[in-house]
Structure 1
Amino acid sequence: METTMLARLNHDHKHIAILLKILKVKQSRLAQGEAVNFNLIRDIVEYMQSYAEHSHHPLEDIIYSYYLKKTAQSETDDKLATQHQTLVDASASLMASLNLILSDVVISKDQLVLDLKSYVTQQEEHMRYEETEVFPLWAEVIGQTDWQEIQALCTLKLIDDPLFSDNDNVVFEELRDYITKDE
């Protein structure tokens, strides 16, 4: 069970890294004045909002809360929750800009380039923090029985990945096609 939950989170991180790599390329092209597919960028941010922010991060929050109770620690400095909220705010802001662009409203290209770069950097730093500091603590402290309890607590937040699963979800079909061709 332990390896299943942590494996799932790490697996999600690998998928998110693929999307961040695409955003980096788009950001670089945009910075050089090249045309980019804003629908594709919006789809990536929408995926991050619909999956990472509504399933992946809540799972991490549930596990972290369990970890704090198990180790009798208080949440004096909840860096994880703070980062999750910062990422929610960043993706909402980026999505607002993308929706303006897709509605033919002119916005600053330079600002969009900075926002994309900042968004990718925040996401990468967040995943690095979790993979190097948070996940190893969980693996060390949380036992098999604990993981079974966590699994039960997480049931409501566990959803199939709408992009990287074998279901017939067509929500991110264009993005899925792009990733398949890009690999």
Structure 2
Amino acid sequence: MGTTMLARLNHDHKHIAILLNILKVKHNRLAQGEAVNFNLIRDVVEYMQSYAEHSHHPLEDIIYSYYLKKTAETGTEKLADQHQGLIDASASLMASLNLILSDVVVSKEQLVLDLKAYVILQEDHMLFEERDIFPRWAEVIDQTDWQEIRALCSLKLIDDPLFSDNDNVLFEELRDYITKDE
């Protein structure tokens, strides 16, 4: 049971990594003054907002607080702080992209910096979880715990709108791009 929860989180990370690689490619093109598809970039950020921030991160927060209760550890706020930081970064990037897509002039230099910072923030965060947080959970949380956690998480467990078999048209262009790209 637990392995499936952790497997799901790790699985999400692999998918997020694919999207971050797309952002890196777009970032490099922008930095070189080439034209990029801003709709595609916005779709990636929108995915991060609609899935990572509404399902993936909340699951991690729920599991972490369960873990802290169980171990009576005084946890740092690092995980929650990082999640909040990512929400802020996505929102700010989304605001810039929406301006660009509404033909408002936005500093390309700033966008290049913001994109780079966003990717680094996301990657550092996943690395922190994979190296530091997930292994601790795997050690301490047993099958019974995972069943309780699953019940606590049920409200936040949504289908991945991009990397699943459902016919979600929301990210159609992005899905096509990833499929062609691979």
* TM-score, scaled to structure 1: 0.99
Matches within 5 A, 1:43-54: 43-54=43-54
Q: Which of structure 1's runs of 4+ aligned residues deviate more than 6 A?
A: none
User: 1:6 aligned to 2:6?
Assistant: yes
Shift of 1:78: 1.0
Compute the TM-score of the two structures, normalised by the length of structure 2: 0.99
The residue aligned with 1:17 is 17
Gaps of 5+ in 2: none
Tell me what 2:69 maps to.
69
- Residue 165 (1) aligns with residue 176 (2): no
Structure 1: runs of 5 or more not aligned: none
Deviations 1:50-72 (A, max 9, x none): 00000000000000000000001
Report the equivalent of 2:82.
Answer: 83
CA deviation after TM superposition for structure 1 residue 73, in Å: 1.9
**Letter aligned with residue 3 of structure 1:** T
| SS of equivalent to 1:161 | coil
Q: Which amino acid aligns with 1:19?
A: L
Residue in 1 that maps onto 2:152:
153
CA distance in 1, matches of 2:72, 2:116: 38
Distance 1:73 1:180 in 2: 43
Query: Residue 69 of structure 2 aligns to which amino acid in structure 1?
Result: K
Q: What is the deviation of 1:92?
A: 0.1
Query: What letter corresponds to residue 181 of structure 2 in structure 1?
Result: D
Deviation track 1:63-95 (CA, whole Å, cap 9, x = no partner) reads 0000000001234x2100000000000000000
Q: Does 1:28 align with 2:13?
A: no
Measure, in 1, the Cα distance between the counterparts of 2:64 and 2:71.
10
Matched residue type, 1:45: V
- Measured in 1, the distance between the counterparts of 2:27 and 2:150 equals 38
Letter in 1 for 2:64: Y
Question: What's the counterpart of residue 112 of structure 1?
Answer: 111
Letter matched to residue 71 of structure 1:
T
